[in-house]
Amino acid sequence: MKRIGAGVFGLGLAALVAFVPWPEPPRPATPVPQLLLAEGLGFQARLVAPQPRLTALPAQVTGRVAADSSGEGYRHEWPGFHASARFAGTGITLRFDDAVNRWRVILDGEAVELSRPGRQDLRIEGLAPGPHVIRAEKISESWEPALFGGFFLEGSAAALPPPEPAPRLIEFIGDSDTLGFANTAERRDCSEEEVYAATDTSRSFGPQVAAALDADYRMVARSGIGLLRNYGGADPERTMERLYPLALPGDAEATALPQRQADIVVIALGSNVFGSSLAPGERWSDPSQLRRDFAPALADFAAARMQENPGAQIVLLAFGEYGPELVEAHRSASDLLTAGGIANRLVVLGDPKRNACLWHPSAADHAMIARTLIQALTAPDSGGSG
């Protein structure tokens, strides 16, 4: 498009050609390589067929998961799953059965990335002898369950105790804005593959807050989801009220593995409720009715999370750009919690620029949200809404 100022139509052709087009924002690189290796790595990495006779390595695992029927590994679907381990040796193997996700594997501070590895092992070799720390983190959004089989050793490699868990755990409950939908993109018009390439949950505001507060994070989030209703009124039987108890949204029968209680719970579930028009057939006729129902529903949802995580700090996160109905509903929910003896903080965000894919928060927006939450969480406790 041309850069056209006031009075441009009174200029001649010679003046018009002096205007230069705005540079097009870069598109996320697609297709995503199945295995992406950085230059100068201190090891070699390759995808291979599943290897027999390996020894499983104990790991520190964070995220909603279910046991696999084989008895090995972790079935996962909610975003932000990550696992860490320690070992001594010159090589290690990671096992996947995953045709839907992107992964980052960090070994002694150096990273490789995988995309849709399928049923393969990632074999890492050429390490210097001695102790090593490895972390595997899912950075994409899943729309069906997949398997991380775990870490495995062979030969003379020796297992070391997994890393100690962080002193605190923060659970972030939300939607696409929470999980980092296309957060590394620099443009709003994106294809489905470009969204996949640009999504990096590990760089969303939640992990940034956790890192700043010496905490780990657990993510329970899904694009388009809301508390009472989803975006546009879609899938009314699959709101967060219905899906939150499930280990795997795509397998209601899966049994969740035990998980650590959260010390802080951040709930951001109003954007899709108030950010789209009511559809024919929904039970609300106008936003004011929705606001009246949302406030007690949010308070009840937050109270239930407190029961599951006794002593946790509750934070209600409101994306204020979705309008006064959303903000007032959150204020009412905060007041209801306070009246019920549940201390909480209400954090109302300013206006993120939302210049990532499909008007989602960009990396700069996520950094702003993280700063706002860190400030709220480290401020003196007021004993009520903030």
Q: 0.75 exceeded by the pTM?
A: yes
Average pLDDT, integer, range 32-52: 95
Whether residue 268 is predicted with pLDDT greater than 50 in this model: the reply is: yes
In contact, 316 and 334? CB cutoff 8 Å: yes
Q: How far is CA 335 from CA 283, 290, 313, 319, in A?
A: 25, 17, 15, 18
Residue with tokens 């001649």: 12
Whether residue 330 is predicted with pLDDT greater than 80 in this model: the reply is: yes
pLDDT band at 71 (very low <50, low <70, confident <90, very high): confident
Kindly report the number of other CB atoms within 10 A of residue 131's CB atom: 12
5-14, 106-115, 129-138, 150-159: least confident range: 5-14
Is 176 catalytic? The answer is yes
Kindly report the number of other CB atoms within 10 A of residue 382's CB atom: 11
Can you tell me the distance from the alpha carbon of 110 to that of 171, in angstroms, rounded to the nearest whole number? 27
More confident residue, 385 or 289: 289
Q: How many helices and strands (H and E) does the chain possess? A: 9, 19
Can you tell me the distance from the alpha carbon of 342 to that of 346, in angstroms, rounded to the nearest whole number? 12
List 84, 176, 202, 271, catalytic entry: 176
